[in-house]
Amino acid sequence: MKGTIAAVVVMTGYAWVSAGVAPFTTLSYFLVTIPCVAIVVAFVLLGGLSRGHQEVSAYYLRNAGGASTLSVAPWIALLTAAVVLESVGLILGGRSPSVPTLSTTVDHLLAYRWERCLICLAWLLVGVAPLHGLRLSRVRGSLS
């Protein structure tokens, strides 16, 4: 529990620093690259990208809880609608005021540093979540 709290505090600090850096600078790319490399390397070390680790697939099979193509159909429909809307926005030039792309819409949420910090923290947590799950699963002995 203490480790989890410490990790969240560190990630919050990192998100705050990242949120204060101007975009399109070397430092902004560097600050995004660090967690990307760290998390991808950790995921690979846990066997997340190895075809030989059947246990990893079994872990996700358990988490899927019997999900089928039919039960995920609403998500596929939602994704399709988003892709269509994004395509229309891109065809209209990407910055059309009537049909903005998703990134143009999201840019409005990135105007203030605290907003960028919160979204960056959420992004980091999403990246760390599978590592946490795989590691816990391994600790519990489900993975060998």
Partner 1 sequence: MNATAIWLALLVVGALIEVLGRLRPTRVSSLGRALSMMAQRTSGRAILILLWVFVGFHLFARYTVPHG
Q: Would you tell me which residues interact with partner 1 (CB under 8 A)? A: 18-19, 23-24, 28-29, 31-32, 35-36, 40, 43, 48-51, 56-57, 60-61, 63-68, 71-72, 74-75, 78, 81-82, 85, 88-89, 97-100, 102-108, 110-111, 116, 119-120, 123, 126-127, 130
If you ran DSSP here, which 8-state letter would residue 31 be given? H
CB-nearer residue toward partner 1: 3 or 23: 23
Nearest of 113, 124, 112 to residue 14 by alpha carbon: 124
Nearest of 96, 132, 103, 120 to residue 34 by alpha carbon: 120
CB-nearer residue toward partner 1: 100 or 143: 100
- Smallest gap from Cβ 2 to partner 1, in A, equals 26
* Three-state DSSP state, 13: helix
Q: Which residues contact 86 (CB under 8 A, 6 or more apart)?
A: 101, 102
- Smallest gap from Cβ 137 to partner 1, in A, equals 12
CB-nearer residue toward partner 1: 103 or 142: 103
- Smallest gap from Cβ 4 to partner 1, in A, equals 18
| Element of type H or E holding 111 | none
- Smallest gap from Cβ 142 to partner 1, in A, equals 14
- Both ends of the chain: CA-CA distance in Å? 24
